[in-house]
Structure formats: structure tokens, C-alpha cells
Amino acid sequence: MSAPNLVVNSDRLWASIQETAAIGATPKGGICRLALSDEDRRVRDWFAEACRACGCSVSVDALGNMFARRPGRNPKLPPIAIGSHLDTQPTGGKYDGIIGVLAGLEIMRLLDEAGVETEAPIELINWTNEEGARFAPAMLASGTFAGVFTPDYAYAREDRGGVSFGSALDAIGYRGAEPIGHPLSAHFELHIEQGPILEAEGRTIGVVTGVQSIRWYEATMTGMDGHAGATPMHLRRDALLGVAEIVRAVHALAMRYAPGAVGTVGMIENRPNSRNVVPGEVFFTVDLRHADDAVVAEMDAAFRAEAAAIASRSGLTLSLEETWRSPAVHFDAGCVAAVTGAAERLGLSHRPLVSGAGHDSAYIARVAPTTMVFIPCKDGLSHNEAESATQADVAAGANVLLGAVLAFDRGLGE
């Protein structure tokens, strides 16, 4: 049967979002569901059961990526994937990643109820550790699926407590049997914009044409511990003071390239972190982004020079390592057209957008035609417990996702 005028069940989709939001719920209304934590295990178990209940087979690969599959008419065609992530930041919201997976679940439920037979199989994917909050870098498991990282590299990533990705995967029982990486006909992902543009322009749909270039660094500034009362100011080698200067320098650097550029020092571990000790060592991270790889390369050079100068004039030693480089991504024109067409048919206002955030789609774009659908989020806020999107916008995004997937599928049958 073909699929005339199928629309998602908005209430059922919303109920799934609210139900799973209880797993790792924070007092301020967000979610803390770090990758491979016990909360992650619980939401994975919920997800697998929900997928089986609507007739999907569920498999898990050796990185914990979960694949819920619904057969198509032509088993020779690789599946059309709908993917995103169920892990969150430590103070994450209810929508980042989650709506992409749960809209996919709603589509699976709908196709099952309506008895729709697609050309290609449809595969709903929950990618492991998209956020990179517990195990850096972000998009680790989709990147490994796409051949950007080796499995050994992924397994060896450690959280700040020294627990490896591989042992955390085993601890929650999600190192699966399926080999890593298989062909996909396409990959579509619904996500909140995580920025202010759609809301400001009063549009419902962002048709995502690419993802900006990202670099991550880890650094340690070393000075000397000293007594806070007895060490005169001129004799101090205060590592935190040096890092404070670097925080300002990163901000100023991004401002020089704004509005396109952003720069963030997101993590600081001050040692020994005692109120009456001059800090002798500080670990910190830096995140630089711009849509153009060449601009990020310029920012990289400036950042390295300024950080080195700050350390040397303060009598400090800086060790700096680039830990992740995700080049700018340009999504597939055919997938972008499928999303634009779906938004048009539904009469939804839309515009092209480049994603400021990284996404699993950025890596999957290397191995399959890929794009994303964005919907607005309140005040452009994300990676925040107050992250918010409306039921109507989530449903609109899910309907565009459905329309794009079915249109792409029809194209495979022609």
C-alpha cells in the first residue's frame, strides 16, 4: 500500500517525549542522561521494547548503536535511516536528539498501523554518545560507523573519572553483536535548531544544508601551588589566572570573527581547588567553530599564538592538544530537496540553515546521502534544562521527516 496523507499522531509522539523525559529527569525540568550511564541503559531498554511492539526487529552493534528495522518491498535496497540520539548533556533538555529518535519511533508506529509497504527497509537509529559530554569527542559512535574513527579509538575514550567507553558499554550490557557499519540508502534527522533564527523569523522548518566546522582542544596550564596567605603576589605562578586570560582571549577571538564564529571554554578543572592554595594546575577545554574551514584554521593559529603568549608572560607552562576536528559538512542536494518538498506540500514556512551544532548526520553524510530537519526552540536555548519546543512544531517537524523519507523512498522505486 502506498502512503497517502499519512500524518503523525502528535499526542502519541508528545506522550513518548514526556514519558522518556522521566528517565534522568532533573529538578529544573531537564534531563541528565549521560552516554552509557544507567539512565541511558533504561531509555535504551524502553526504546527497544517500543520498537519491537510496532513490528521492528532491533539489533545493536559493537558500539551500542541501536537499529530498529522495518522491512521494505525490495530487500536488496539498503535501508533509509532515521537517526539521532537519546543521550544528553549533564544539564540537558528534553528535545536535543530525543525528538529525532522519538519522531522516528512515531513514524514506525504509523507505518505499522497503516500497513504501509515502502520500497527500501526503514531503519530507526539511536546513535551512542552523540553529545561527547561524557566521552569526547562528540558523535563518536556515528563517526566510527562512518569509518572516521577506529573501534579501538572509540573503546579507549575515557570519561573524566578514567572509565573507558568500552567498559561503560559492557557495564550497561550494550556492546552488541552486529558488525560496525553497513550501507544506508540515506539518513534523515529531525532536531531542534538550538539557535534563534527560526523563532526570530517565525518559520517552522529549517532545511539544513550543512554543519559548521568544529575544533576541540584539551589543555593543561601548569604553574605552582602556593600558600594563599603567605605567597606574595609577585612570587605567584597562578595557573587559574593564566586560564582566566585565555577564557577572555577565546571570547575576544570569536568576537573578531563574529557573527559567524563562536568560541567557548566549557570545562575547567582547577587543582588542587582549595580555597587557600594558589592554583598550580588547571585542565580546560576549548571549542572553536565557523561554517568555513579556512576561518577555523585562522582562528586555530591565532588561538595557539595567544595562548602561548599568555602562558609565557605569566611564567606558566601550557600543554595544548587538538582532540577533535570535524570539518564543515555539505548535505546531499537530493535529501535537501526531499525535505524542502515535504515542507512545501505541508504548507509549512521554511528556510535553509547551516547547523551550529554537531550532529550524527555530519559523519553519516560521509557514507550516505544525508540531511536534517530543524524546528524552532524557545529563545534559541539548548544544552540547558529550560530547552523547550512546542508540540505543534515537533509534530510539524515529524511530518516533514515522514514526507521526506517517503519521497526519497518513492525515488528509489522509480
Q: Are 299 and 291 in contact (CB under 8 A)?
A: no
Work out whether 105 is an interface residue with ligand GLV (CB under 6 A).
no
Selected from 39, 87, 96, 123, the binder of Mn ion by CB under 5 A is 96
Work out whether 193 is an interface residue with ligand GLV (CB under 6 A).
no
93-101, 233-241, 297-305, 399-407 -> range binding Mn ion (CB under 5 A): 93-101
Work out whether 34 is an interface residue with ligand GLV (CB under 6 A).
no
Work out whether 358 is an interface residue with ligand GLV (CB under 6 A).
yes
54-62, 114-122, 130-138, 270-278 -> range binding ligand GLV (CB under 6 A): 130-138
Q: What are phi and psi of 76, to 5 degrees?
A: -75, -20
Selected from 99, 138, 221, 246, the binder of ligand GLV by CB under 6 A is 138
Cα–Cα distance, 80 to 404 (Å, whole number): 11
Work out whether 286 is an interface residue with ligand GLV (CB under 6 A).
no
Work out whether 279 is an interface residue with ligand GLV (CB under 6 A).
no
CB of 96 to Mn ion, least distance (A): 4
**Mask of contacts with ligand GLV, 307-346, x by CB under 6 A?**
----------------------------------------
Closest CA to 340 of 182, 206, 196: 206
348, three cell numbers: 509549512
Work out whether 262 is an interface residue with ligand GLV (CB under 6 A).
no
CB of 85 to Mn ion, least distance (A): 6
Site for ligand GLV in 366-405 (CB under 6 A): none
**Residue 19: its H or E element:** helix 10-21
Q: Are 4 and 410 in contact (CB under 8 A)?
A: no
Comparison of 48 and 295: residue with beta carbon closer to ligand GLV: 295
CA 303 vs CA 134, 214, 310, 313, 321: distances in Å:
25, 14, 11, 16, 12
Work out whether 92 is an interface residue with ligand GLV (CB under 6 A).
no
Place of cell 522505486: 413
Work out whether 357 is an interface residue with ligand GLV (CB under 6 A).
yes
Place of cell 530543524: 374
> How far from the centroid of its chain's Cα atoms is residue 143's Cα?
11
Helix, strand, coil distribution of the chain in percent, nearest 5: 35, 25, 40
Cα–Cα distance, 305 to 186 (Å, whole number): 42
Cα–Cα distance, 339 to 264 (Å, whole number): 32
CB of 316 to Mn ion, least distance (A): 32
Residues making contact with ligand GLV (CB under 6 A) = 131-132, 138, 357-358
Residues making contact with Mn ion (CB under 5 A) = 96-97, 131
